[in-house]
Structure 1
Amino acid sequence: MTTNVIDGSLWMANAVQPERKTGNQILGKDDFLKILLAQLENQDPLNPMEDKDFIAQMASFSSLEQMMNIANLMQQWMQVSSRDALLRYSEWIGKTVHWQEGDATMSAVVKSVTQKDGNIVLGLDNGATIAADAVMTVEQHE
């Protein structure tokens, strides 16, 4: 009589992965702790996890937590930096700016400063808008 062997790796390769509720494909520190806790709860009592393995996993968790803290701080810094740029350019309101358009040098008085898609945009008295990066000179409006 012949028997067919079922290869479990084929099933696992085709298994549907459950969708993460966070919408994020990166494991976070909560996920890491859940995995560690599951390992501790389900370990073989006759062959428990060795101390060095546990210490290595805790060190990995500590590193993960520190990297996440750094990422959060960088995000906060970017937000503050963005607002800082807006405040710096607001000093240009009421001043004349000069920029190059083709071969001509243009000038207008800045009436507003806004931020769009991470870029500073100047609203001018002639109704036009230009990127702050395009400005060559700024002078006090007379």
Structure 2
Amino acid sequence: MTSTSGVGAGTTAAANSNTNNPGSTVDYDTFLKLLVTQLKNQDPTSPMETTQYMAQLASFSQVEQTIQTNNKLDEILTSSAIGQANELIGHTVTSPDGSTTGTVSSVRITSNGLVANLDDGTEMLIGAGVTVA
């Protein structure tokens, strides 16, 4: 089941994702520390070119931005699902084959999508072909 507590929480840095699973990701500060250590320990007779460092920094920055974008998209999708769930309550839904019909009393958000709990106790996955009246 998808948790809705994070909707609107507004994560602003990739470091926030580190609190969910520390050790699995490297934040921007850690990357900079590694870069400085790499500079200190490089072979003075064959130093790495500045363009290589800049490429590493740009790559890490791009990955960090992608992570932040994915987090925001997850928040938007969850918020959208909550809005859709709210609109279904009290409406009559019919399965694509017409075998199940009932009034929606509550809705759960799962990884598969919205699951409507009908007034007779049955559950129906809301997907393609379901009729809402």
Fold shared, TM-score > 0.5 on shorter chain: yes
**Pairs aligned (count):** 113
* In structure 1, C-alpha distance between the alignment counterparts of 2:82 and 2:120, rounded to whole Å: 21
Match of 1:49 in 2: 47
Match of 1:125 in 2: 119
> Whose radius of gyration is greater, 1 or 2?
1
Asked if the contact 2:81–2:109 (Cα under 8 Å) also holds between the matched residues in 1, the reply is no
TM-superposed deviation, 1:35 = 2.8
Match of 1:34 in 2: 33
Q: TM-score, normalised by structure 1?
A: 0.64
1:32-84 per-residue CA deviation (whole Å, 9 max, x = no partner) reads 32232123223455x3625xx12221222122112211221112212211220
TM-superposed deviation, 1:94 = 1.1
Q: Percent identity?
A: 29
Q: TM-score, normalised by structure 2?
A: 0.68
Asked if the contact 1:93–1:113 (Cα under 8 Å) also holds between the matched residues in 2, the reply is yes
Partner of residue 116 from structure 1, selected from 110, 116, 123: 110
Q: Which residues of structure 1 form unaligned runs of 5+? A: 1-21
RMSD: 2.7
Larger RCO: 1 or 2 (CA < 8 Å, sep 6+): 2
